[in-house]
Amino acid sequence: MKTLFTKASLASAVAVALAQPAIAQQESEQTTKELAKENAEVIVVSGTPGGAGIRKIDASFAVTNIDASDIEKLAPKSTADLFKAIPGVWVESSGGESGANVFVRGFPGGGDAPFLTIALDGSPIYPAPTLSFLENSQLFRIDETIEMVEGLRGGPNPVVSNGQPGLTTNFRMKRGGESSEAMAKYTVSDYGLNRVDVVASGALADDLYYMVGGYIKSSEGIRDAGFNSEQGNQFTVNITKVFDKGELNLYTRQTDDRGTWYLPTPLNVDGIDANYTQIGPLNRQATITYGPDDTTEAFDFGDGRGWDGHVSGGSLKLDLGNDWFLIDRFNLTKGKANTFGLVPNGAAVTVADVADNGESAIGAVTGTTYAGDTPIQQIGRWVVLKDIEAFTNDLAVSKSWDDFDASFGIYSASTKSEDWWSIGNTAYHVLVPGGELLDGIECNSDAEGCGFNYDINSVGDASTMAFYATGKWYATTDLSIDLGLRRENHEVNYSVDEGLDGTITKALEYDETKTSWTLGANYALNDNSGVFIRTNRGYKMPYFDDFRDNWGAYTGGNDLIQEITQAELGYKFMNDSVQFFATAFANEVEGDTFVRRPGAPAEILTNEAYGVELDGRYSHDSGFSLSVNATLQETEITASATNEGNEAQRQPGWQVRVTPSYDFDIGDMYATVYGTLSAVDDRFGNNENTVVLEGYEKIDVGMTLDPTESLRLQLSVDNLTDEQGITEGDPRNPDAPNGRFIMPRSVRFSVSYLFF
């Protein structure tokens, strides 16, 4: 018997969403996985109007689910690190807790995460996916309050929510139910980590539920900085009120978390390996010079990159009767996302190459005399102060008829960023971990240092108003066809004082409107399998830094909008033991602008890519399970002044992750052993394809042991063999022999206790 697309499928999905608190109560007796297994249903909300939800087996797009138990096994070192479990995504998470680079399906980019949106319970946390020194994952920390993350690539993305054409990762928080539960977890590591997580949930009154949780942590960092370079805390409150015909949910997530920004290091100097970091007690406090009057100011560069702010919002879901539903999701994000970094400038040299006397130099802190053969490097002391604010609202009204569903939505967003930068301030430092500044080198004592300085003070406001509509026609019991349209107006007001002299050098008022669309079809082969096909066209609208970095292109008539056209063909299979999804994709990105560093000329190019994503999981009654995700892709720069025909920079032709797991009993105790093998192909470090970054393999292992129903012990080892893989070269100077290593081997141990 083939799957029947019920005429109330939209209503059923919304009903599931409205029943979440009741489901949460059942989860005290059954895990989410067990529920999904019994019902043969996994509900995804990404890619649906207002986050109404749809059965995953019925979805005509590629979406990956990672639940809390998967997150526990993956033990990600950062939010971006978790995205490695999503096929079609290439993540460079070697920059630390913040500062990741995320690439999607071969889309072009020079770093950061221009095609990534992070959403919390369906609401984008910051509509601009990437500003300089700010990508979405910097604003979000994973903890025990997260129930699941969904990773949607392409599909209906260009039409719903904020219209992201690339990757949307939607984090769904845990919610309270009728029964009270609490969990406390303590984690230590071989790099000095001390972390306490707590989460509790239950009922405050009839139909009123709560979930609270958070963490506090401190460590010297996986790359030992010699001081507590990673510190943070987070606290989340989630309240849900259930009505006869709907629910109201409100949340706030208060975060103050920072850590060292790990940067490329010399690859041709003995003693410099994956454990090296520029920051240390001898250089964390430094003075920079900026502005026309050579103003000096001291900063603590040990603060690294982080987020000090809140993400607050909620949703209102109402059953209006007669198969009409209303869902409104809203979010306010506000805080500081500052960056303090010691950034390499060019290749390593020796003291004799640049010393005033040609023989030696003196340590500015210790007074040590360094001989002429001592390796040294220019290090820039970069300061980026960034105050941001954003408010989004997504209102969708849906109606279900006998063989047709329709939704109409209004999405609005306001985005603000106030920036103060002083980047440059370069001077020669000794090439040892936390190496000190040197005296006896002429440019080290100059006001502007040894290299360029770029100082700005800027303010930008952007607003987006979009109207969208989607429709799904159930043509037969096995075939559904859906269409979506979006009309979006995007306005930007932006001004920049370059030089910090009080003079505005660039200012603009920008107003553009575009129409995005998506068309897809889903066909059920039987109860457990189906195929889908989809095509779409969307846009990446420009924000503040796009104009500043590409001013010549903008004033020359380029509107800086990137047009993305995609096609997908997918197969899916789900039963009690197997979940398998295969998606072939092809895309074209027109009008990409790439700037190597602020002030450098922009290159405008067009990029094409095609490939296959594989996402599978097998579970056996014996306790054995196996998860696999893999991506094979080809990329080509099809229009460029100098690089036409080359591959897109920094993206592998293939990557694969295999995660076996085995559950077993040890006497009266329950245990799980698991591991992950990751393998990555070679990549080019630049669009010129002159720098090759070699592929690598990485092994992670772990074990959990439950001595009682309430007590759990977990041991995780990341990079078991201490592989010295390279994620990227030097994005500011690709020809310099610098690169970022993947994180060295680290070990974590945690003890958690569940209170019923």
Does some domain include residue 362? Answer: no
d(CA 626, CA 618): 5
Least Cα distance to 96 among 190, 225, 194 occurs for 225
Amino acid occupying residue 350: T
Q: How far apart are CA 162 and CA 152, in angstroms?
A: 13
CB 173 within 8 A of CB 120: yes
- Which residues form the domain of 460? 9-355+375-489+499-755
Number of structural domains, the chain?
1
| 651 domain-assigned | yes
Q: How far is CA 37 from CA 91, 540, 575, 619, in A?
A: 30, 38, 8, 11
The string of pLDDT tens digits covering residues 652-668 is 999 999 999 999 999 99
* Rounded distance between C-alpha atoms, residue 354 and residue 347, angstroms: 13
| Whole-number pLDDT of residue 740 | 94
User: What confidence score (pLDDT) does residue 605 get?
Assistant: 81
Look at residues 65, 61, 87, 91 and name the one whose alpha carbon lies nearest to residue 76.
Answer: 91
pLDDT at 591: 84
Could you give the angle at the alpha carbon of 253 between the alpha carbons of 85 and 468, nearest 5°? 70
Please indicate, yes or no, if residue 366 is contained in any of the structural domains: no
CA distances from 275 to 98, 263, 279, 743 (A): 18, 12, 12, 8
Task: Residue 509: give its domain's CATH number.
Answer: 2.40.170.20
Q: What are the start-end ranges of the E strands in 304-364?
A: 305-321, 324-336, 339-344, 349-350, 361-363
Tell me how many degrees the CA angle 293-298-304 measures, rounded to the nearest 5.
125
The token duo for 167 is 């990757």
Rg of the chain (C-alpha set): 26
| Residue at 363 is within a domain | no
Domain-embedded: residue 365? no
* Cα dihedral across residues 588, 413, 156, 578: positive or negative: positive
Per residue in 591-628, is it b (16+ CB within 10 Å) or e — as a string? bbbbbbbbeeebbbbbbbbbbbbbbbbebeeeeebebb
| Per-residue model confidence (pLDDT) at position 23 | 38
Instruction: Judge whether 369 lies within some domain.
Output: no
Q: Could you tell me if residue 368 is inside a domain? A: no
User: What per-residue confidence (pLDDT) applies to 354?
Assistant: 95
- Residue 494, domain member (yes or no): no
Residue 451: what pLDDT?
78
Spans of the chain, pLDDT less than 70 = 1-41, 50, 447-448, 594-602
**Tokens 């006001």 label which residue?**
447
**pLDDT for res 743:** 95
User: Residue 28 has what pLDDT?
Assistant: 36
* 681-to-111, 293, 652, 693, 729 alpha-carbon distances in Å: 19, 49, 5, 9, 15
Q: What confidence score (pLDDT) does residue 33 get?
A: 38
For residues 697 and 679, the answer to whether their CB atoms sit within 8 Å is yes
